[in-house]
Amino acid sequence: MSAVLKSQSPANSSTAPTVKLLINGKFVESSTQVWKDVVNPATQEILARVPFATKEELDAAIMGAAEAFKTWKNTPIGARARVMLKLQELIRRDMKKLAACLTAEQGKTLPDAEGDIFRGLEVVEHACSIGTLSLGEIAENVAGGIDTYFIRQPIGVCAGITPFNFPAMIPLWMFPMAIACGNTFVLKPSEQDPMTPMLLAELALEAGVPPGVLNIVHGGKEAVDALCTHPEIKAVSFVGSCHVGEHVYKLSSDHGKRAQCMMGAKNHAIIMPDANKDQSLNALVGATFGAAGQRCMATSVAVLVGEANQWIPDIVAKAKTLTVNAGNVSGTDVGPVISIQAKQRIESMIAKGVSEGAKLELDGRNTTVAGFEKGNFIAPTIFSGVKPHHEVYKTEIFGPVMAIVAVDTLDEAIALTNANPYGNGTGIFTQSGAAARKFQNEIDVGQVGINVPVPVPVPYFSFTGSRGSKLGDLGPYGKQVVQFYTQVKTVTARWFDDAAVSTGVNTTISLK
């Protein structure tokens, strides 16, 4: 049975395919009574129905993972790495198929969907180096004839909870590294776009991931809470909004688990008056409106410093050149937002900005697209004159909306950014090395771009959002996640030489 199959659930008369659960290496139909439609945001076509797994199904997935851990943890590192080598090959083979599915259920443009998959693929490539990434260390002769070393061991069943906005990249941030480290995994993808993660799971099985090593369950709060509280789960990785992340972090920690939560954002781009105007404004507009503003690293606040405040008409003019259309139409720059509810929420935030007195320079509401009249489209929207107390400044809108704040100096721009509770990403656009260096040094945000609009680090580093955008100290990929997914065991060893003279009983604590 494949991950999404054209079969009917007895719970519903709809003819849409049902999304399966992956338990113990088998794609199985849920017996739940609770289903949700997976909807194409450009057309409202129901693509599939996703089950909210029952308690018994959640338990079966977790216990299957616990059983599989007994053998997977002892599978040689090279064998684990070779599964990842095969997985990266299969993702490349199916790139177009994955991108088409991702665009259909998420809405982003086809090139951006390929980017989503590619950024995840890079993590799989990095997981192929698990041998060197998970090495221990040794210190010889810490005392007479005594060596101390540490080894990294897998921790057990790990869980991942992912958001709707990167249905390929973020699952791939999680399960490949967890599995490569020798753990087993239970993934709960976003119920809004679960089909792409299921295709990735099919590829993982084809690549040789044994039964029970990767499991997928679906659902909402109940499924998440079950993962955060089940005694067999040792670590929880979460990516999503702040209010859910805070809940997941507390619940998982209260139940004795390792937890890492990457959360919401309000990313500021600082435009200095000496910036290369054309390049910087292109980058700003792309980073704000790309993926319809539904990236955690999207720029949502443009801080124009001094004379750069005169560039507002140029920003508006560039934003107007973007094409709003369905993600699978060639030439589209801005696709639909994920749901009718998301569209309504974004529109209400725009209305709020107007009522609070910000100047609406460009209004993207009431946008219709010929041939896709039912789509959840919002065109680029720009406010100027935004103040720190405005809701459009304070709240993560997660749509194609730019808030422009004017300041006089770089110091003011830094102070403004540092006073914002989020710390996911930021950028400065300038031709001054001194200004860039000062910014890099003084800014209290975890990921900094210098003339780079969306500074998401490649997998040899880690994703390092900070402050209100993150809970837990370790990032979701890179060397940091090897620490997260492994337990360090330190061994202090002495081997007796039969020929040596006995030193007698020693009751002190020092090693000699």
Q: State in angstroms the smallest separation of the CB of 101 from ligand NAD.
A: 17
Q: State in angstroms the smallest separation of the CB of 423 from ligand NAD.
A: 10
Q: How far, in Å, CA of 150 to CA of 142, rounded?
A: 13
C-beta of residue 422 within 8 angstroms of C-beta of residue 264: yes
x/- map, 156-195, ligand NAD, by CB under 6 A: -----xxxxxx---------------------x-xx----
C-beta of residue 462 within 8 angstroms of C-beta of residue 477: yes
Task: Between 246 and 274, name the residue whose CB sits nearer to ligand NAD.
Answer: 246
Which of 179, 254, 188 lies closest to 227, judged by CA?
A: 188
Instruction: Say which amino acid occupies 24.
Output: N
Q: State in angstroms the smallest separation of the CB of 297 from ligand NAD.
A: 7
Q: How far, in Å, CA of 104 to CA of 329, rounded?
A: 11
Instruction: Say which amino acid occupies 107.
Output: G
- Of positions 17, 120, 167, 240, contacts ligand NAD by CB under 6 A: 240
CA of residue 31 relative to chain centroid, distance: 30
- Residue nearest to ligand NAD according to CB distances in the complex: 240
Q: How far, in Å, CA of 222 to CA of 495, rounded?
A: 52
- Indicate whether 239 belongs to the interface with ligand NAD (CB under 6 A): yes
Task: Between 40 and 424, name the residue whose CB sits nearer to ligand NAD.
Answer: 424
Which tokens hold the place of 213?
């090593």
- Indicate whether 263 belongs to the interface with ligand NAD (CB under 6 A): yes
Helix (H, G, I), strand (E, B) or coil at 282: helix
- Of positions 88, 424, 480, 483, contacts ligand NAD by CB under 6 A: 424
- Of positions 221, 320, 387, 394, contacts ligand NAD by CB under 6 A: 221
Q: How far, in Å, CA of 200 to CA of 207, rounded?
A: 10
Q: In this chain, which stretch among 8-16, 152-160, 220-228, 485-493 interacts with ligand NAD, using CB under 6 A?
A: 220-228
Tokens 């809405």 sit on residue: 107
Which tokens hold the place of 312?
């507002």
Binding residues for ligand NAD, rule CB under 6 A, total 28
Which of 87, 39, 25, 75 lies closest to 336, judged by CA?
A: 39
Q: In this chain, which stretch among 109-117, 149-157, 262-270, 501-509 interacts with ligand NAD, using CB under 6 A?
A: 262-270
Calculate the alpha carbon distances from 85 to 197, 302, 341, 425, 461 in Å. Answer: 18, 41, 40, 31, 20
Which of 158, 263, 247 lies closest to 475, judged by CA?
A: 263
Q: Which helix (H) or strand (E) holds 359?
A: strand 359-362
Residues 264-323 close enough to bind ligand NAD by CB under 6 A: 264-265, 296
- Of positions 57, 114, 122, 396, contacts ligand NAD by CB under 6 A: 396
- Indicate whether 40 belongs to the interface with ligand NAD (CB under 6 A): no
- Of positions 44, 241, 309, 451, contacts ligand NAD by CB under 6 A: 241
Catalytic residue among 128, 242, 261, 296: 296
**Active site annotation includes 101:** no
CA of residue 493 relative to chain centroid, distance: 41
x/- map, 83-122, ligand NAD, by CB under 6 A: ----------------------------------------
Interface positions with ligand NAD (CB under 6 A): 161-166, 188, 190-191, 220-221, 224, 239-241, 244, 247, 262-265, 296, 396, 398, 424, 463, 465, 469
What positions carry a catalytic annotation? 296
